[in-house]
Chain A
Amino acid sequence: MDTEARGATAAGPRAAARRWTAATRALFGEVPAFGWLLGALAAVLAEYFVGRPLARALGIGRIPLLFGVDVALRDPWLLPGTVAYMLLVYALPAAAVARLSVTVARGITERLLRLPVGLSVLVHLGLLYAGLHLWAGINDYRLLVTRLALIAIMVTISLNVVNGYMGEFSCSHPGFMALGAYVSSIITVLFFVHDSVLGPPLLPTAVGPFLFPLALIAGGAAAAVGSLAVALPSFRTRGDYLAIISLAFMFIVKSTIENVQLIGGSRGFMNQPDWAGLPTVFVWAVLCVAVTNNFVRSTLGKALNAVRDDETAAAHMTVNTRRTKMVAFVFAAFWAGVAGGLFAHVMRYVNPGTFGVQKLAEVLAMLYFGGLNSVIGSIVGAVGFTLFSEALRPLQIYKWIIIPVLLILVMIYRPTGLIAFREFDITRLVKPREKPGKVEHVAAAD
């Protein structure tokens, strides 16, 4: 097939690629999201049951934790085995199940569509969670990476509201995270943990996990209040000076925490209870994505874009620019604070040094890698960046040359990120797919 395609036209490889795309589309075009989720579930089930013996048989020894990149980088000789493992355990079951279940999946999706959309979304999310749970359950490291990736999604999406949708260059997100992390940690440790500084628990530990969401919300609220320090100046100035103000805010938060000895100062604060398991983090991340997605698609969310593109014009179109800016900052800070609280309880240790310039570079990288003005872009950016930077760990220090170079390349060739300015329509995602070739759905509807 390859030689034939090359002989046919001058643009041989391109024609072959097009043929391949057409072939894949003919095969998989009808598979709805439900089918892919089933496929993913099949893949992780395959890994769960035969992963270990297969890895041993292929000579890798143990299950490659992050899609084989980590193994192949540690020992290049294991590359063939890793590729085989990936094909056998992930690609093959996923593709086969997705393809074979087309009819079933379509039937189920259509039936689900008759019910309220929310229910259909819930079923999809349940499948997604099942897959994630099995995948992350293989070992503790995967569990940690998964939770960190979910938290990264929350941070990136909330940053996108300010930097992408509203078009400011805010650098204060690490500060918001720090506020959320410390406030929620203080609450949980003060009320539910016997701490050497904060004393015995004030409430029985048993009720703790149920009140944990309240602690997180309190953290988010603290961050939201803190964000007023950035939001209020944003009425008077925009762009560069706001960037400096937000930067100053970040440094102020960091060094204030460093100076409060009661919560450990620069040594950090530990003893957080272990309540941020995968289910909790997953639910919060889903909540954050859903709420943000609805927010940016609402009238108020569209006002963000109006303020970004032309503030004066927006004001003349009866957009209340002050309220819009205020809401955007408070909203973004709240979710950053919640994410910070979850982060503190996942790591079970925070120190102010975590929330400095390095964190800022990291969240900005996730945002601009994924794409501005796009919820799905933020998800891709956060997950991609987290997995990538974990998978490159075997390269040690050279990781921090490769990742920046890649990001610079992304910036040069796609200055607004990989998936920018795209709406995330959940209802279309859960619908059954049309037969390929009938109606071409263009992804961006707006």
Chain B
Amino acid sequence: MTFFLQQVVNALQWGSFYALIALGYSMVYSVLMLFNFAHGDIFMVGAYMGFFVATGLVTLGAAGVLALPSWLILALTILMAMFLTSLVGMLVERVGYRPLRGAPRASAALTGLMIGIILQTGNLALLGARRQTFPGLIDVTSYKVAGVIVSNKALIIITLSILLTLALHQFVRRTKWGMAMRAMAYDFAVVPLMGVSINTIALLTFGLGSALAAVAGIFFGMAYPVLEPYMGLLVGWKAFVAAILGGRGSVLGAGLAGFLLGFIEIFVAAVFPSTLRDVIAYSIILVILTFRPYGFFGEPYSAQLRL
């Protein structure tokens, strides 16, 4: 039982990364009907942004210029990395995707792949092949509840991820911007006639998604403090699958599917040899998609590539 609960905690933490990244994928996919294959690398950019901000603040504190409490450093890191990464995301949209608005969707998907490669290579060219170590921002304390060890880090990661998912859900449900996004997911052609600017909404979608990816990146850096340019490949593609699994147009679905994927992977790794993790995880996804081809919360629609 203790073992099981311990795995649940691990799965929640592992699923948090998937959930946060899947939200960004899902939003872009719902609103623009676009596979944003660069999103995994936006997550990588977010992690590095967090790394730079955090290292900068820690160095300032160590030099005695600006001594901040650790929780404030964490909060500032998250906020600034969110801001910077959303700028990168919006730049990607403006430069890479906007010129392809009328093009076949497969071309946009390929463009996304290429932007991802550019981000990876750009990182490699700027920073070299050296791996970076994410600074430990908070003092880790572990609590033992009923035999299960929970660190404060895991608590922060899990709580904030769930809160952010719910917040985004509420944003999409309640605000005017969210309504515009839902409208665009519903009908791409009519919405501009209602006086809503596609480009503005697209920028907003990319900005929000990238900000969440940045949070995921920082959390990832806190949990596994080694950053490398190709980290987006590993996590990003699975989060992408999770986003699709959640169903088009469903924020909660993407979040839930992210956590589900975390559960599948952690429990597979707990029972079987961990090298089998990917095989079993993807096989389960394949089975789910065979029986629910439109995801958990998605509705059947004419999924035609506009070629």
- A complexed with B: yes
Name 15 A/B residue pairs within 8 A (Cβ), A-sorted. A167-B307, A169-B105, A233-B290, A238-B304, A239-B305, A249-B286, A254-B278, A368-B107, A368-B110, A400-B117, A404-B114, A404-B121, A411-B111, A412-B103, A415-B104
Neighbouring A residues of B108 by C-beta, 8 Å? 411
Determine if A342 is an interface residue (Cβ-Cβ < 8 Å): no
A residues engaging B (CB < 8 A)?
Answer: 163, 167-169, 229, 233, 236-241, 243-245, 247-249, 251-252, 254-256, 258-259, 308, 357, 360-361, 364-365, 368, 372, 397-398, 400-401, 403-405, 407-408, 411-412, 415-416
Q: Are B305 and A167 in contact (CB under 8 A)?
A: yes
Of residues A254, A259, A308, which shows the largest number of chain B Cβ atoms within 10 Å of its Cβ?
A259
B276: nearest residue on chain A (CB-CB)? A259
Beta-carbon contact of B124 and A397 below 8 Å: yes
Which of A229, A248, A400, A412 has the most B CB atoms < 10 Å from its CB? A248
Distance in angstroms from B31 CB to nearest chain A CB is 14
Taking a contact as CB atoms under 8 Å apart, the answer to whether B282 and A248 are in contact is: yes
Q: Is the interface of B mostly helix, strand, loop or mixed?
A: helix
Contact residues in B for A240 (Cβ distance below 8 Å): 29, 35, 244, 248, 303
Give 1 or 0 for each of B117-130: 1 = CB within 8 Å of chain A CB.
11011101100000
CA of A32 to CA of B65 in the docked complex: distance in angstroms?
77
B118 touches A248 (CB 8 A): no
Q: Are B125 and A248 in contact (CB under 8 A)?
A: no
CB <8 Å contact, B103 and A415: yes
| Residue B177 CB within 8 A of the other chain | no
Give how many B residues have a beta carbon under 8 Å from the other chain's beta carbons: 49
Question: For residue B113, which residues in chain A have a CB less than 8 angstroms away from its CB?
Answer: 360-361, 364-365
| Contact flag A365-B307 (CB < 8 Å), given A241-B293, A411-B100 | no
Most chain B CB within a 10 A radius of its CB, from A229, A236, A400, A411: A411
Question: Would A251 and B282 count as touching, CB distance under 8 A?
Answer: yes
Is B275 an interface residue, CB under 8 A from the partner? Answer: yes
**Contacts A163-B106, A397-B125, A411-B107 given; does A239 touch B283 at CB 8 Å:** no
Closest-by-CB residue of B relative to A310 is B304
Whole-angstrom distance between the alpha carbons of A372 and B106 in the complex?
10
Tell me the minimal C-beta distance from B103 to chain A in angstroms: 4
In the complex, the chain B residue whose C-beta lies closest to that of A256 is B279
| Chain B 204-245 per-residue mask, 1 if CB under 8 angstroms from chain A, else 0 | 000000000000000000000000000001000100010011
CA distance A86 to B100 in the complex (A): 37
Q: A398-B125, A400-B117, A408-B114 are known contacts. Are A243 and B289 too (CB-CB below 8 A)?
A: no
Q: Which of A169, A252, A258, A403 contacts B106 (CB 8 A)?
A: A169
Roughly how many angstroms separate A254 CA and B103 CA in the complex, as a whole number? Answer: 32
Please indicate the chain B residues that have their CB under 8 angstroms from the CB of A259 in the complex.
273, 275-276, 279
